[in-house]
């Protein structure tokens, strides 16, 4: 890490721990340079970086101030305690009903699970496809069918190193997006009737996967900012024969929560003591607004129990369907399941991604993408603060593209969903995110498709609909 | 159909039904033209077509003769009657052990499941990738995620029309190769513990799919030339609570059997009476050596019970992983399962295939491919007749790229596999093709990687190893 990054990091930490608060003025460049024994240009670069991340802002002829929107804002939701029982899952029908209705092209897609495709370097990627495939030795099509391109797995291995962990690339299996990786991992370590621990609220695709494999869900209390609560997990592990956990430690869907590093380490140690595998869904990690990629739980794993799953779908190449898992001691089992169910992955998208990654535009693209999402989050938070009913609570995630909005009691999210849809706005009602449909007054809003006036208007309409429901 | 095609068809039928036999002389052009009231050039074209298909050959200054290799050759295997009981399946371990050992690059891949990648227009396809993706409207990436490219589904619909059936393209779901299609279909109509009818011998991937979903297999007697025996199936249906059939009516793997049209119609009617869905694996249909694509069972289906599965992997675009299913009344269920397990297919391979299909080189490519495979089959049959032990029986399929070789009792195919592998030759031992491992003296040989001296040498070595086993 360079000196200016280090200094920026220190200030970010002061903001995170609220030593520096909204509206506080940062030391002037001269002050900082003098007191820290660093050059003025280092201070400038650090402030510039913090500003790009949306943590501070410059006021003309006055200096740098801690950004009001990020540190202040409204009240965040609290942890919602789950029931504590394990339950069979029957959520799919509702998920299909709700999502199916939100796919029309003219709907403002606040309920979508995807960021806008306009945010990605699709043309640059497309240009890689033909040359990459024309260079490919035909024999490799069959040889690399099931585990995926060796070249790509080596590049993923390099990115793992820079994310703080080294692993044998033979542990990696390329999959049809992270969705296939997660499903294969879940199937590799469970049998029908088994209990699986999930977050609360939970990403609905995890619930659907449990339902499809006839597994039982037990929900673990999850803090909207810090993620899985370890005391709750310890209790669940002592009371239920948990066969696996499916968690999203970095920017959880729908909460956006980010587990602190010390919690990740403790989580891995706790699960190692119980010999319980962790399926780590890490698809949002690259969409951080902080200073660096948050570590995966996998980087604390010494037992091969963490099955790390990720993809390029949310941060680079939607529609390329290139995901993967580094499945630890279960790698061979996952590979065999892959062979039996989808045989292998399309070759061209993998080879094109290899070429793109080697050309070196990925990190620049990611910086722009993070900035666009951070800006869009700020805009969404302003809209919600302005238009939503008093008593609304909303998360302020440090990455990803979802807000979790807890509306006052009296608003029913499914009703709101239907009313919104009649005005050509979609949303994801809280009902989708729990096996027992507890989050009836919550909605997940996607700001990754936003940042324009149509989006602002949609938020205003949503707010009006919610207010009208409360007044009725 | 043109007049010369019609005439060629009539002669092919006479050969198939053995009215015309190996070595029989065809009528001279003048005779045929006179007796049939067709022009001499029509007769010439018909004979030329039959020759291109390997059914007849010209002898200089003598006329056209029925091709000895195709109509004569050695003795074909007889139907092997299955046990009649339904059994749980535990075959995967053996399949992985055997197939895993045959993937090395320097092995002559007679055990492979794939034809040689050199047989496909990989460069032409690769050139389609970048332009197709650069033209794509980004919004379609999300809109068409789960069912697949609408353009491609429309083109598939057109090919279905030319294969003799019209269907609503909304019935089609694009999948990650036929393997995913088959697995999704199987999952859509069964629950753990259910009984599924399969052919005997059975493609091992079907057995693996049953094992993975904890289904029971009941094997149906399958004739090496005519496929599923309907009397055997009727008995199975009356004795077992069959929830689905997984059959390959066109060029079955491993037998290469082709169900006659009247049997396909009767099969569909029989299953309709029992309300049993048919999962039709039709990946080899385009690799026919006869005059036209054999009809799928789907073309006789009036109840929406046939789930037709196919792909481009075996006849055009290996590694593109573009398969599909037209799943009849189960289409929505399949689509939902797809959404839950792999979400969607890579976009670029689908769009590139659309462009390739529109350019119109597909049928020319298929003609060349069929000719190459037919030639290679003839070469393999010559090699087997020359080198394999007396008493060896071998199929003579009218399409595809597999031979099923029944060696004399006393040869153990697993032992042969191990001996062959030590000489850098792979094969697929019969043990893989039945839940009760009955086909211990049979092997499946792939001639789709053959047609060269290395291949001839490998067949000679295999024959010597089998003879040595018998002598020991």
Q: Which residues of B touch A120 (CB under 8 A)?
A: 138
Q: Smallest CA–CA separation between A121 and chain B, in Å?
A: 11
Q: How far is CA B329 from the centre of its chain?
A: 25
Two tokens, residue B189 = 């109509």
Distance, first Cα to last Cα, chain B: 56
Residues 6+ apart with CB under 8 A from A221: A79, A80, A81, A82, A200, A228, A229, A232
The total of other beta-carbon atoms located within 10 Å of residue A394's CB is: 23
Instruction: Find out whether the peptide bond into B198 is cis, omega within 30 degrees of 0.
Output: no
pLDDT (tens, 9 = 90+) of chain A, 472 residues, equals 788 888 888 888 888 777 787 778 888 888 888 888 889 989 988 888 888 777 888 887 788 888 765 433 568 898 888 878 888 888 888 888 888 776 677 899 999 999 999 999 999 999 999 999 999 998 888 888 888 999 999 999 998 887 778 888 899 999 999 999 999 999 999 999 999 999 999 999 999 999 999 999 999 999 999 999 999 999 999 999 999 999 999 999 999 999 999 999 999 999 999 999 999 999 999 999 988 899 999 999 999 999 999 999 999 999 999 999 999 999 999 999 999 999 999 999 999 999 999 998 999 999 999 999 999 999 999 999 999 999 999 999 999 999 999 999 999 999 999 999 999 999 999 999 998 878 999 999 999 987 889 999 999 999 999 999 999 8
Contact B259, B296 (CB under 8 A): no
Q: Is A81 on the interface with B (CB under 8 A)?
A: no
Tell me where in chain B the CATH 3.40.640.10 domain(s) lie.
120-359
CA distance A120 to A101: 26
* DSSP percent split of chain A into helix, strand, coil, nearest 5: 50, 15, 35
Q: Which residues of B touch A114 (CB under 8 A)?
A: 142
Task: Give the SS3 label for residue B306.
Answer: strand
Q: Smallest CA–CA separation between A419 and chain B, in Å?
A: 23
CA distance B179 to B193: 21
Give the pLDDT of residue B5: 84
Two tokens, residue A116 = 């806008």
CATH 3.90.1150.10 fits domain B87-118+364-471: yes
Q: Which residues of B touch A246 (CB under 8 A)?
A: none
Two tokens, residue A214 = 């006839």
Q: What is the CATH number of domain A89-118+365-471?
A: 3.90.1150.10
- Domain B120-359: which topology? 3.40.640
Tell me where in chain B the CATH 1.10.10.10 domain(s) lie.
3-71
Could you say which residues of chain B have pLDDT below 50?
70-72
Q: Which residues of B touch A192 (CB under 8 A)?
A: 192, 214
Q: Which residues of B touch A336 (CB under 8 A)?
A: 92, 96
Name the maximum alpha-carbon separation found in chain B. 68
A183/B346 Cβ within 8 A: no
- Domain B3-71: which topology? Arc Repressor Mutant, subunit A (1.10.10)
Tell me whether strands A195-200 and A216-223 are parallel, antiparallel or unpaired.
Answer: parallel
Instruction: For residue A25, list its beta bridge partners.
Output: A65
Two tokens, residue B187 = 């999952």
Residues 6+ apart with CB under 8 A from A361: A121, A124
Backbone angles phi, psi at B321, to 5 degrees: 50, 45
Residues 6+ apart with CB under 8 A from B6: none
Best of A170, A181, A342, A353 to substitute, by most chain B Cβ atoms within 10 angstroms, is: A342
CA distance B4 to B39: 9
Write the pLDDT tens digit of every residue in A120-163.
Answer: 999 999 999 999 999 999 888 888 888 899 999 999 999 888 77
The number of C-beta contacts closer than 8 angstroms across A and B is 175
Q: Is A180 on the interface with B (CB under 8 A)?
A: yes
Q: Is B93 on the interface with A (CB under 8 A)?
A: no
Tell me where in chain A the CATH 3.90.1150.10 domain(s) lie.
89-118+365-471
DSSP state of A217: E
Q: Smallest CA–CA separation between A166 and chain B, in Å?
A: 27
Length in residues, chain B: 472
**Which strand (E) or helix (H) includes residue A129?**
helix A122-135
Backbone angles phi, psi at A236, to 5 degrees: -60, -45
Give one DSSP letter per residue of B448-465, joined into a string.
TT-SSHHHHHHHHHHHHH
ipTM above 0.90, yes or no: no
CA distance A297 to A223: 17
Q: Is A340 on the interface with B (CB under 8 A)?
A: yes
Residue of chain B nearest A96, judged by CA positions: B336
The total of other beta-carbon atoms located within 10 Å of residue A451's CB is: 19
Per the listing, tokens 């070429």 go with A355
B176/A346 Cβ within 8 A: yes
Q: Is A341 on the interface with B (CB under 8 A)?
A: yes
Give the pLDDT of residue B292: 85
Write the pLDDT tens digit of every residue in A173-188.
Answer: 999 999 999 999 999 9
Residue among B184, B98, B212 nearest B443 (CA): B98
Two tokens, residue B177 = 């190769």
Give the pLDDT of residue B73: 52
Two tokens, residue A377 = 């989050």
Give one DSSP letter per residue of B232-290, joined into a string.
HHHHHHHHS-EEEEEE--BS-TTT--B--HHHHHHHHHHHHHHT--EEEE-TTGGGBSS
Report, in angstroms and rounded to the nearest whole number, the Rg of chain B calculated over CA atoms.
Answer: 22
Cα angle, residue A73 at apex, residues A72 and A75 outer, rounded to 5°: 105
Burial, B262: exposed, middle or buried (Cβ in 10 Å; 0-12, 13-18, 19+)? exposed
Sign of CA dihedral A429, A435, A440, A446: negative
Two tokens, residue A389 = 């009913």
Among residues 295-324 of chain A, which lie with CB inside 8 Å of chain B?
Answer: 318-322
Tell me whether strands A278-281 and A306-311 are parallel, antiparallel or unpaired.
Answer: parallel
Contact A242, A210 (CB under 8 A): no
CA distance A434 to B174: 30
């Amino acid at each position: 890490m360079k000196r200016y990054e280090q200094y920026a990091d220190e200030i970010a930490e002061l903001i995170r721990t609220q030593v520096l608060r909204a509206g506080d003025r940062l030391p002037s460049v001269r002050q900082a340079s003098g007191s820290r024994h660093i050059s003025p240009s280092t201070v400038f670069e650090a402030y510039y970086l913090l500003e790009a991340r949306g943590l501070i802002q410059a006021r003309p002829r006055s200096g740098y101030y801690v950004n009001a929107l990020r540190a202040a804002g409204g009240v965040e939701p609290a942890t919602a305690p789950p029931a504590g029982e394990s339950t069979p899952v029957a959520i799919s029908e509702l998920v299909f009903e709700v999502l199916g209705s939100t796919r029309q092209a003219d709907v403002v897609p606040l309920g979508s699970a995807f960021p806008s495709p306009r945010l990605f370097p699709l043309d640059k990627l497309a240009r890689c496809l033909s040359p990459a495939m024309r260079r490919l030795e035909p024999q490799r099509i069959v040889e690399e069918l099931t585990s995926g391109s060796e070249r790509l797995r080596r590049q993923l291995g390099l990115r793992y190193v820079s994310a703080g962990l080294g692993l044998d690339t033979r542990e990696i299996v390329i999959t049809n997006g992270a969705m296939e990786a997660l499903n294969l991992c879940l199937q590799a370590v469970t049998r029908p009737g088994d209990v699986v621990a999930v977050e609360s609220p939970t990403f609905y695709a995890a619930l659907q996967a449990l339902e499809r494999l006839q597994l039982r869900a037990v929900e673990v209390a999850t803090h909207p900012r810090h993620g899985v609560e370890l005391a709750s997990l310890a209790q669940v592990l002592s009371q239920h024969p948990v066969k696996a956990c499916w968690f999203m430690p970095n920017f959880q869907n729908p909460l956006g929560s980010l587990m602190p590093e010390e919690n990740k380490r403790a989580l891995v140690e706790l699960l190692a003591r119980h010999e319980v595998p962790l399926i780590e869904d890490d698809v949002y990690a690259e969409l951080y607004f902080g200073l660096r990629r948050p570590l995966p739980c996998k980087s604390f794993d010494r037992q091969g129990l963490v099955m790390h799953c990720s993809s390029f779908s949310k941060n680079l190449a939607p529609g390329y369907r290139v995901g993967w898992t580094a499945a630890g001691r279960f790698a061979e089992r996952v590979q065999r399941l892959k062979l039996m169910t989808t045989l292998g992955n399309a070759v061209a998208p993998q080879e094109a991604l290899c070429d793109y990654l080697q050309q070196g535009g990925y990190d620049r693209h990611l910086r722009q993408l993070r900035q666009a999402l951070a800006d869009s989050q700020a805009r969404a938070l302003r809209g919600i603060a302005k238009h939503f009913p008093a008593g609304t609570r909303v998360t302020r995630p440090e990455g990803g593209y979802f807000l979790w909005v807890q509306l006052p009691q009296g608003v029913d999210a499914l009703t709101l969903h239907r009313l919104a849809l009649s005005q050509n706005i979609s949303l994801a009602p809280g009902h989708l995110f729990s096996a027992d449909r507890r989050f009836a007054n919550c909605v997940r809003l996607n700001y990754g498709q936003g940042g324009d006036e149509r989006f602002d208007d949609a938020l205003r309409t949503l707010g009006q609909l919610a207010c009208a429901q409360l007044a009725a």
